[in-house]
Amino acid sequence: MPELPEVETTRRGIEPFLAGHRIEGVAVRDARLRWPVRADLATFLTGRPVEAVERRAKYLLLCLDGGDRVLIHLGMSGSLRLDDPSNPPRKHDHVEWRLDNGRVLRLHDPRRFGAVLTDRVDAPHERLERLGPEPLGPSFDGDHLASRLAGRRVAIKQAIMNADIVVGVGNIYASEALFLAGIHPMTPAGRLDHDECHALAAAIRQVLTAAIEQGGTTLRDFLAPSGNPGYFRQTLTVYERTGQPCRRCGTPIERVVLGQRSTWFCPGCQAAETRRR
């Protein structure tokens, strides 16, 4: 699933081609996404200028004139690709936006778990209203993390993947941040002390920033709008490295399942004693 760095990479890739340009037409080839695409999307968008391309959590926001927005979610396997309109759409290119600069933006989504929704800046969609702070924004730090984790018995790995606490920390980056902070993923969230919360918040920022700088992580399907893969996979420390030596201490990486998600950690650098306190 594309996570925050992949979505931010996509935003940066499409922004120069959309911001300041007008939507000349919209084609909906399959409206059966995670939520049905509104029937009048083409009428609603045709002729509208895109004023900015923003991101909230894993949602891309095409900001239009008059305060309207288009919310795009890539789901499990979705991607956005800028293309020449003379190239025929591929199978699973479900929605496309034709722009006044001669380019076309196509949403490719084989599993159809993505979404194309609309809302207004002054009346945000319900899926945005419940979200926690951005991990790279000013409102996320160790103090915020400490206040939200207090008293929680859930494993810290699951806690930081909860979008009510902080958005955009998916499975890959949660595992990597916990390794960087030296915290065992099964540690009860409420047992982290003040220093550990600050270390973890800093690690989340560091890991996500590095991933964005390297264009995200390509594991299976993800490609940037340019068609390039993300290179962060080459620097992963624990994720999907079962049995391989830790890059820091040489201890074999282990895998456990938390909340039905695979989780990787180094038993040397992320001591289990932290979990048993």
CATH fold of 142-276 reads Helicase, Ruva Protein; domain 3 (1.10.8)
What is residue 216's predicted lDDT score, i.e. its pLDDT?
59
Mean pLDDT, rounded, of the chain:
91
What is residue 223's predicted lDDT score, i.e. its pLDDT?
43
Active site residue 2: yes
265 DSSP β-pair partners = 254
What is residue 215's predicted lDDT score, i.e. its pLDDT?
72
List the catalytic residue out of 3, 6, 51, 176.
3
From 84-98, 191-205, 228-242, the region with the lowest mean pLDDT: 228-242
What is residue 3's predicted lDDT score, i.e. its pLDDT?
85
Q: Residues for the chain: how many in total?
A: 277
What is residue 17's predicted lDDT score, i.e. its pLDDT?
96
Give the pairing of strands 49-56 and 115-120.
unpaired
> pLDDT at residue 227 above 70?
no
Give the pairing of strands 261-265 and 115-120.
unpaired
> pLDDT at residue 219 above 60?
no
* 253-275 average pLDDT score: 87
| 4-129: CATH superfamily | MutM-like, N-terminal (3.20.190.10)
List the catalytic residue out of 58, 69, 98, 241.
58
List the catalytic residue out of 247, 255, 261, 275.
261
List the catalytic residue out of 2, 133, 135, 225.
2
What is residue 51's predicted lDDT score, i.e. its pLDDT?
98
pTM (predicted TM-score): 0.86
> pLDDT at residue 231 above 60?
no
Tens-digit pLDDT profile for residues 184-194: 999 999 999 99
Active site residue 124: no
Residue pair 187/152 in contact (Cβ under 8 Å)? The answer is no
User: CA-CA distance, 24 to 99, in Å (whole number)?
Assistant: 5
Tens-digit pLDDT profile for residues 143-167: 999 999 999 999 999 999 999 999 9
> pLDDT at residue 273 above 90?
no
Active site residue 88: no
Query: Hey, where are the domains in the chain?
Result: 4-129, 142-276
Q: Enumerate residues 6+ apart whose C-beta is below 8 A from 226.
A: 13, 82
Active site residue 261: yes
> pLDDT at residue 79 above 70?
yes
Tens-digit pLDDT profile for residues 14-52: 999 999 999 999 999 999 999 999 999 999 999 999 999
Q: H helices of the chain, where?
A: 4-18, 41-45, 126-129, 142-149, 156-160, 171-181, 194-213, 273-276
With bands split at pLDDT 50, 70 and 90, how would you rate the model's confidence at 235? confident
Percent of the chain residues topping a pLDDT of 90: 82
